[in-house]
Amino acid sequence: MTSADFGSFARGRGQALTGGVLAFGIAAPPVAGIVIAGFVLYRRNGYDTGALSYGVAVRLPTFVAWAGGSVVGYLTAYGTFSLTHIPSIDSLLCGGLLHALITALATTARRERTA
């Protein structure tokens, strides 16, 4: 393998690594936003670990908030629009706000059904 071959090999691997890191940087922050929003709005006294044994493992509103935050992060990373000029912060904020909005709407609808 010549040095030119090695250089092109390394550049190709570097581009793949950059794409993977960018995808992780867009998809992970909404999770932090969801955790922060859940703690601030609903769990100020801490998390009840006993509730994990009888609760649902995956909640649809949380998954929708994560997907929405990831889409916003992707769109801001590729210049479609920008909120803070930092795609990771955009996705964190949108994930948290979507989680707060969706859970508030779901809670209101659940209360209206049982009333």
- At residue 13, the pLDDT reads 64
- At residue 53, the pLDDT reads 78
Q: Which of 107, 105, 109, 102 is nearest to 62 (CA)?
A: 102
Q: Which of 105, 107, 96 is nearest to 40 (CA)?
A: 96
Contact 85, 21 (CB under 8 A): no
What tens-digit pLDDT sequence spans the chain (115 residues)? 555 555 555 566 666 677 778 788 888 999 999 999 988 887 777 777 777 677 777 788 899 999 999 999 999 988 888 889 888 899 999 999 999 999 999 888 888 888 6
What are the DSSP calls for 25-40, one per residue?
A: HHHSHHHHHHHHHHHH
- At residue 75, the pLDDT reads 93
pTM: 0.75
- At residue 2, the pLDDT reads 55
- At residue 32, the pLDDT reads 94
- At residue 64, the pLDDT reads 94
Q: Which of 88, 91, 100 is nearest to 72 (CA)?
A: 91
- At residue 10, the pLDDT reads 55
The Cβ of residue 74 has, within 10 Å, a number of other Cβ atoms equal to 17
- At residue 9, the pLDDT reads 57
